[in-house]
Amino acid sequence: MGETCLQCLIFVMSLLSCSTNQARLSVSPSSSQFFSWKSFSLSCEEDDSSAGWTLRRNTTEEDRTECGKKWGKPAGSSCNISVTASWDSGVYWCESREGSTSNSITITVTGGAVILQSPVLPVMEGHDVSLHCQTKRPPSKLPADFYKDGSLIRTEPTGHMTIHHVTKSDEGLYKCHISSHGESPPSWIYVTEKPTTPPPSTTPLKSTPSPAASSFHLSFILLLHLVVFYPYFISTVLMVSLYRHRPTGNRLPVSMVTTSPTPAEQGLADDYDDVITGVTTQHHF
Helix (H, G, I), strand (E, B) or coil at 155: strand
Euclidean distance between CA atoms 11 and 1, whole angstroms:
15
Stretch that binds ligand NAG, among 2-10, 45-53, 57-65, 193-201 (CB under 6 A): 57-65
Q: Which of 69, 73 has the CB closer to ligand NAG?
A: 73
Q: Which of 64, 246 has the CB closer to ligand NAG?
A: 64
Euclidean distance between CA atoms 27 and 67, whole angstroms:
14
Q: Which of 91, 82, 23, 85 is nearest to 54 (CA)?
A: 23
75 touching ligand NAG, by CB under 6 A: yes
Whether 145 and 155 have beta carbons less than 8 Å apart is answered as yes
Measured over the CA atoms of residue 220, residue 221, residue 223 and residue 227, the dihedral's sign is positive
106 touching ligand NAG, by CB under 6 A: no
- Please pick, from the candidates 14, 36, 41, 50, the single residue that binds ligand NAG as defined by CB under 6 A: 41
Q: Which of 29, 231 has the CB closer to ligand NAG?
A: 29
Q: What share of the chain is helix, strand, coil (3-state, %, to 5)?
A: 30, 30, 40
Eight-class DSSP state of 168: G
Whether 53 and 68 have beta carbons less than 8 Å apart is answered as no
| Nearest distance from C-beta of residue 81 to ligand NAG, angstroms | 9
Q: Which of 108, 241 has the CB closer to ligand NAG?
A: 108
59 touching ligand NAG, by CB under 6 A: no
- Please pick, from the candidates 14, 17, 65, 104, the single residue that binds ligand NAG as defined by CB under 6 A: 104
Helix (H, G, I), strand (E, B) or coil at 267: helix
Helix (H, G, I), strand (E, B) or coil at 33: strand
| Nearest distance from C-beta of residue 100 to ligand NAG, angstroms | 13
Q: Which of 73, 245 has the CB closer to ligand NAG?
A: 73
Euclidean distance between CA atoms 249 and 257, whole angstroms:
18
Q: Which of 15, 91 has the CB closer to ligand NAG?
A: 91
91 touching ligand NAG, by CB under 6 A: yes
92 DSSP β-pair partners: 57, 105
80 touching ligand NAG, by CB under 6 A: yes
Binding site for ligand NAG (CB under 6 A): 28, 39, 41, 58, 63-64, 73, 75, 80, 91, 93, 104
